[in-house]
A and B are shown apart, each in its own frame.
Chain A
């Protein structure tokens, strides 16, 4: 050959090789790039919190001033402290100076305060020495001032929500706590005679969803008292005035359920064992758990768990990081379910309740007088005994992120046992997000399993029939038709499955099951009959790839037979209600949106892949093999089973895997046709929630870079992993098969 031509061909070959290599490498880079992107978004979920010291300065106060309470605004710009004369000092944190001094409304005349306890950041339960008590709301909110109303200024506003005169109490008050709930306020006073007094009053102003005009109720009735036989060290009450939880000096934990007229004691036990004193007590954000600490530095949380014997009891649910010394104070974050604990040496721990993540640990100061968390959980302010104020900026981006949250069983608030739960959001802030990915992974696999159960036999057998048994004319029509169905947008299939198929199967469930029995039975009978009729040449001629024209009427006939025999059978065998029978005998709950619908819908999407790949694989077997087999006298079936299928098996396998990959990633059908129920139950009679559908459902609401957003990306990584694994296994098995059957 001409040297020039050879040279040209070689050049072209090398060019083509380079081009193809470039393409392949490009694809690889893209795939890796996607994975890197997904993982990158996910990583911050597992990083802890950070703290930065912003400022320290001595608070200007007079010699005999005592600090009763400190608080700060959510913008970390201003803070306040209250002295014993009921004066609220507003501090500008940026400039380290005091800007104003205001008396607590209603306490202008008071000479001295006895105590202040703080809730939800800026609600103060104030008790004066005279016996006057009140619940005060302190707000540090931005106001736009100036001529053009564009100058932002944080202003201090105080409002008295609930007020009591000394005469309203049955005895001298030692401690006083009040909370504002949705239907009014509640107060519990610890009296000098050792008893509690429960009082209610205030308005329903705090019910933020209400558009009905506020009714002012009188403040207030005398309420009732709870008689105690042991000395109370600390107590807390929940926002809605339902529980009162107290610790005694001996280390007992008591819980009362409060009603309008009386209190009922539900819990009375030593949570840490007899003789172990409880040194601190607080409610966790959301008021569903309490946190306690002891002298050994242990911090534990308890919430209500249903007991086997019935009734709910406070039970220890989480153990948080242990301090080196006695814990003196616990403060909840009002941003998420975290607890800030301070020990005697001035070390602070920040722990998240659900994940038990240890977020922060650092020494704040020696001799801490009081400390507070800002409303957004982004600032920590500490006042020490020397009168210095320290301010830290705290960043806790994803306190609930942990492997055990995503993949382990967790005991959530109000749940009776550790469970895998997916329930990511709520309309309220104090919600404990449940982010277990296990139900979603299970759902993805379950959907795929049912889809394959339906699609595998149909796709493979259909492909075999079309390729080997039907005539070329039939094949030329059927193959493109089946392939076109792959082009139907899955949203349409989902829509049809949800709105048409689901109710249809719901009504005709038994008929569907009967059909699975009637079809093979009837068909066997038909084949028996056929074998007796084969001696007629015209009948036998049908077998030459025209079977379909006989089979279709038979199937239709069997369908009508099923329809005809179903009602009497349902009446006779299943008491007239098949679904009830399923429930009673099999014990499965039948749901209209179930896995059968998914099998059909998802299977419909998968069949074209399997069908086409089967057909192609069979077509790729060298015709000489088939010819040789038939020449040796093998029947069509024998040829297929012994010769064609083994050689075509790698291709068949590829088709199945391709279909599986498609099914696992499919979104719209599952989204629309299942109920998106995140359950772990393999039953065919209920639905599922898949990883992919979950991403589609929840990504529009997930705030950018929020925890949910990142968890959804994590689920995308898992989905990627699934597909990657399936394909790798497929490739491996395929190469094995190819090696084994290469000799053909």
Chain B
């Protein structure tokens, strides 16, 4: 009995680490019913249908972004309908898990909701001798969500910064801890703001930190959730809640609020506003692949990305609640793959 105390707890530690792998799958229960408040974006007509190629088969692994997880799954489904003998595994624990997997070669696709950092590019280059290729596959309006009962109209980034950040680099005077400080009245006046966010492996975490927090630091009181759906779930259950995630996770329990850089001229996270650059948190979602210069992209990977960039693939983007690329963008990405 005595000797096994230490062993027991060590064993548990190890076991729990294993279980963690299953967590991402478990938390990803389908919360992705799309609210109809924001009109579905229209697909650019110039995007062509997918043309089936010959001799496509084998295994395809994708490790990376949680934001892109549902999207990758839908694409994989559609792709497998075209090529039944293709096997696709998708794991989405966060964008920061994509570079290590691509470097070690455990995955061919590295979906990321942010660009690779220099350090990540460097590590890849050190291992392979060339830089990875990034293919944009969809647009996203990273949204700030509040509970559906919260009447707030919009926030500017300075306020968002004062809500989420301990360093307040946006320059807002004081910290915002109560909803009354952003103009709400009634029962919301003294209600504390309850913060939800993603864990640091997430590209959304990094992107939000960079753009909305002006590279400042998150408050220690931001509840870090392992997946976007847990963020949405948390806000759904918490009337005073606020959090951020990709627009694709919008559900009936939460509301994506309009944002602006400064002032009160709030801008809805709509397709048009993201395309024009008016919405401050519009971004591209990427899939990184390993392409050796002078050599063509591996056929299976190439066909998968071509499928994602086809009319069918971009329709899936809309279905999942994200924003499709424009015809011009699709063309530019397809050119990269050639």
Residues of A within 8 A of B (CB): 24, 27-28, 30-31, 34, 74, 142, 144, 146, 148-150, 152, 208-212, 286, 376, 412, 414-415, 421-431, 434, 439, 489-491, 495, 498-499, 502-503, 506, 580, 583, 589-593, 654, 657-658, 661-662, 664-668, 671-672, 674-679, 686-687, 689, 692, 695-701, 703-704, 716, 719-720, 723-724, 727, 730-731
Contact = CB atoms under 8 A, between A and B. Distances in A.
Contacts of B191: 580
B8 A592 contact: no
12 contacts: A209-B115, A209-B283, A211-B136, A425-B96, A439-B220, A668-B23, A675-B221, A675-B224, A676-B225, A701-B94, A703-B99, A723-B6
B203 A700 contact: no
A705 B191 CA distance: 44
Interface string B282-300: 1110000000011000000
Interface in B23-37: 23, 26-27
Interface residues of B, number: 83
Contacts of B225: 675-676
Given A30-B7, A676-B224, A666 B293 contact: no
A429 B114 CA distance: 13
A703 B119 contact: yes
Contact of B220 (A429, A489, A674, A677): A677
Given A414-B169, A414-B217, A427 B117 contact: yes
Nearest to B100: A703
B5 A679 contact: no
A490 B275 CA distance: 44
B272 interface: no
B84 to A, nearest CB: 31
Contacts of A210: 277
B130 A666 contact: no
Nearest to A439: B220
A264 B109 CA distance: 49
A658 B167 contact: no
A428 B213 CA distance: 12
A427 B222 CA distance: 17
B45 interface: no
Contacts of B117: 427-429
A717 to B, nearest CB: 12
A490 B122 contact: no
B8 A661 contact: yes
Contacts of B222: 675, 677
The winner among B6, B194, B276, B329 for most chain A CB atoms within 10 A is B6
Contacts of A671: 20, 23, 226
A434 B20 contact: no
B148 to A, nearest CB: 14
Contacts of A696: 16-17, 20
Contact of B294 (A148, A209, A666, A716): A148
Given A429-B118, A592-B194, 8 more contacts: A142-B130, A144-B293, A427-B206, A428-B215, A431-B215, A439-B220, A491-B26, A662-B12
B221 A677 contact: yes
A560 to B, nearest CB: 25
A491 B120 CA distance: 31
B233 interface: yes
A397 to B, nearest CB: 13
B1 interface: yes
A730 B16 CA distance: 24
A427 B210 contact: yes
B5 to A, nearest CB: 4
Given A429-B119, A700-B97, A667 B13 contact: yes
The winner among B9, B94, B122, B237 for most chain A CB atoms within 10 A is B9
Nearest to B10: A34
A593 B233 CA distance: 12
B99 A700 contact: no
B1 A654 contact: yes
A666 B277 contact: no
B200 A698 contact: yes
Contacts of B123: 703
B311 interface: no
A519 to B, nearest CB: 27
Nearest to B216: A414
B237 A503 contact: yes
Contacts of B207: 209, 427
Contacts of B282: 211
A430 B216 CA distance: 11
Interface in B191-212: 191-192, 194, 196, 199-201, 203, 205-207, 209-211
B3 interface: yes
A700 B223 contact: no
B303 interface: no
A499 B194 contact: no
A668 B237 CA distance: 21
Contacts of B283: 209, 211
Contacts of B10: 31, 34, 665, 720, 723
Contact of B209 (A427, A429, A672, A677): A427
B19 A31 contact: no
